[in-house]
Amino acid sequence: MRAVGLRDFAGLRRDDEPLDPFALARFAKLMVVDFDQIKGLSEESREHLLGTGSAAWSGGTCSRPLPNGWRLVILNPKHGRQRNNATLMEEVCHVFLGHKANRLAIMAKNKQGSTIARDYNEADEEAAYAVGAAALVPFTALRRLVLAGKTSVEIARHFNVSRELVEYRMKVSRLWQEYKGRYPEETEQPRVRYNNGSNAAPRRE
């Protein structure tokens, strides 16, 4: 019901209308800033985040608000718009669900060789991801599209999200067996979903 409420708040009238998290973010007082605008980041950290470490983070919200009450959100520029939509939607859900902001720090190595990361509340992260995914891909529309024979790629393209998110929704909505029966060749390899934390590890669905 919380996901339905978010879609209603966004002014969507049909269950198959794509939800734009970037339009919804302003109601949560979240300002998305370009990664290149980050100041004070060492060249080594920048190269790591955009290079070998780019697969280990999706984005995050700064815990300290601006004087006007807004918070800054940074998204991984190496990820496509579809994955960034899911990341931003998760951050929007943290606000609407009343979650306490995590203390954000860029993943890097300090002088002692230890990894610097952010505080991580797994329960909040799971709840925000689940509600955000349900708002982006509603059950009724997803079920209708699956029964109509649409592939996960086609459904993902329709809602402007990743194929992995669509398949996650199929599994939690108990539509996966139906889909596997229609497209067994697409379900042989496990999909990987990354959490939205800078220190997150990939999860296999």
Mean pLDDT across 103-115:
49
Mean pLDDT across 16-34:
94
Mean pLDDT across 116-142:
85
pLDDT at 131 over 50: yes
Cα–Cα distance for residue pair 156/165, rounded to 1 Å? 8
Q: What are the Cα distances from residue 3, in Å, to 67, 97, 126, 128?
A: 30, 11, 14, 10
Domain positions in the chain: 2-204
Mean pLDDT across 51-76:
89
In this predicted structure, what is the pLDDT of residue 201? Answer: 32
The answer to whether the CB of 84 falls within 8 A of the CB of 179 is: no
* Amino acid in position 90: E
In this predicted structure, what is the pLDDT of residue 60? Answer: 83
In this predicted structure, what is the pLDDT of residue 194? Answer: 43
Q: For strand 71-75 and strand 30-33, is the pairing parallel, antiparallel, or unpaired?
A: parallel
pLDDT at 125 over 70: yes
In this predicted structure, what is the pLDDT of residue 23? Answer: 93
In this predicted structure, what is the pLDDT of residue 98? Answer: 87
pLDDT at 93 over 90: yes
Mean pLDDT across 11-29:
95
In this predicted structure, what is the pLDDT of residue 39? Answer: 83
pLDDT at 200 over 90: no
pLDDT at 110 over 80: no
Report the mean per-residue pLDDT for the chain. 83
Per DSSP, the residues of 78-129 read: TS-HHHHHHHHHHHHHHHHTTPPPP-----EE-TTSPEE-----HHHHHHHH
pLDDT at 192 over 60: no
In this predicted structure, what is the pLDDT of residue 102? Answer: 57
The answer to whether the CB of 19 falls within 8 A of the CB of 10 is: yes
Cβ neighbours of residue 7 closer than 8 Å, sequence gap 6 or more: 15, 17, 19, 135, 138
In this predicted structure, what is the pLDDT of residue 101? Answer: 66
In the chain, what percentage of residues exceed pLDDT 90? 56
Query: Whole-prediction pTM value?
Result: 0.79
DSSP state of 38: -
User: Over the stretch 157-183, which tens digit does the pLDDT of each residue have?
Assistant: 999 999 999 999 999 999 999 999 988
